[in-house]
Amino acid sequence: MEKAPLGTTLLGKTGLDITRVGFGAWAIGGGGWEFGWGPQDDDDSIAAIHHALDLGVNWIDTAAAYGFGCSEQIVGRALEGLRGDERPYVFTKASLVEGPGRTVVHSLTRDSILREAEASLKRLGSDAIDLYQIHWPIPAPDIEEGWAALAELKEQGLVRHIGVSNFSVAQIRRAQQIAPVETVQPQYSLIDRDAETQLLPFTEHEAIGVIVYSPMASGLLSGAMTRSRIAQLPDDDWRPHDPRFQEPRLSHHLALVERLRAVADRHSTTPGAVAIAWAVGNPAVDGAIVGFRRPDQVDPLVRAANLRLDASDLTAIEGKN
């Protein structure tokens, strides 16, 4: 049976026509660092990337911080030899560098950003990064210096487009005094909705591209997460230490998963796909970053790109019926 083409949309004013779902490469950075996801098989990672591309996904979001270069290396290996239309857009990020004990250290200095970009290009095996983003606006006083460095990289042709992640509206406005902010990447899911208050209305008004991360709340809304599974996560997986994965919030979130499951059954899909479809259903959102660690995880979640939720679905998800 022929698969339906994935839905696409323009990413803000960048001219990039992206699928509504992109490959998130945080987890494939593996464990052994401050925000790792536990052990990861690199062959599984590469197979997952190839399978997502086969299904039509046309962009990958990674970062230098994910495994401190490991994720970018894996992405580079997976894309080796791909040319032209075969090669997806690659988005990556700077501003988090390796500190003592493989912890994250924030830096927005020009020299640090330029070094990171050079290293990322080498790991990715590319002559230019399609979208380069500031990962976090920390230290806040250095936002202008960091953003000016990204603008410099764009002027040099080493990056094609520039954006920010985890920025507030006020911080975006500061950056815009130096160079246009082309894209924004906030956290956004059914249990992380802060972006709805100011950020998403602002980006929609300004026609800034938006790609959201963690639409399944780092796996919590996937339908596969249970109390027993959380208890068995590896020591070097950051999620058990997140309050979202702990009581009293956990019971509330697992109840939401059951509502997602009921809607998923109507559409012959998974709770995770419904959670993703909900996120990209916001008119301000262009695409959602979805993490895959194995090829068998790809098919049901990629289908979220074409899943449309109706009013009754949304009411059921909110628990109002």
321 pLDDT band, cuts 50/70/90, is low
What's the CA gap between 296 and 16, in Å, rounded?
A: 28
Helices and strands: H and E segment counts in the chain: 11, 12
What is the pLDDT at residue 3?
53
What is the pLDDT at residue 217?
86
- Residues forming a β-bridge with 59: 89
Q: Are the C-beta atoms of residues 201 and 189 closer than 8 Å to each other?
A: no
What's the CA gap between 251 and 90, in Å, rounded?
A: 37
What's the CA gap between 110 and 148, in Å, rounded?
A: 8
CB atoms within 10 A of CB 249: 14
β-pairing, 209-212 with 162-165?
unpaired
- What's the average model confidence in pLDDT over 249-270? 90
Residues near 120 by Cβ (< 8 Å), separated by ≥ 6? 64, 72, 92, 94, 129
123 pLDDT band, cuts 50/70/90, is very high
pLDDT at 118 over 60: yes
> In a 3-state reduction of DSSP, which class is residue 34?
coil
Residues designated catalytic: 66
What's the CA gap between 85 and 136, in Å, rounded?
A: 31
Task: Tell me the pLDDT tens digit for each residue of 59-111.
Answer: 999 999 999 999 999 999 999 999 888 899 999 999 999 999 999 999 999 99
Buried b (16+ CB within 10 A) or exposed e, 117-150: beebbebbbbeebbbbbbbbbbeeebbebbbbbb
User: What secondary structure, in 3-state letters, does 165-208 show?
Assistant: ECCCHHHHHHHHCCCCCCEEECECECCECHHHCCHHHHHHHHCC
How high does pLDDT run on average in the chain? Answer: 92
pLDDT at 234 over 90: no
pLDDT at 229 over 80: no
Termini Cα distance of the chain: 36
> Which of 183, 121, 125, 171 is CA-nearest to residue 146?
171
Residue ranges covered by each domain of the chain: 12-318
- For every residue of 252-307, DSSP letters joined together read HHHHHHHHHHHHHHHHTS-HHHHHHHHHHTSTT--EEEEE-SSGGGHHHHHGGGG-
CATH topology assigned to domain 12-318? TIM Barrel (3.20.20)
**pTM of structure:** 0.92
284 pLDDT band, cuts 50/70/90, is very high
What's the CA gap between 31 and 307, in Å, rounded?
A: 32
1 pLDDT band, cuts 50/70/90, is very low
> Which of 77, 74, 94, 104 is CA-nearest to residue 153?
94
pLDDT at 225 over 80: no
Residues near 178 by Cβ (< 8 Å), separated by ≥ 6? 144, 147, 148, 151
Q: Are the C-beta atoms of residues 154 and 160 closer than 8 Å to each other?
A: yes
What is the pLDDT at residue 4?
61
Fill in the DSSP letter of residue 4: P
Q: How far is CA 314 from CA 73, 174, 275, in A?
A: 39, 36, 11
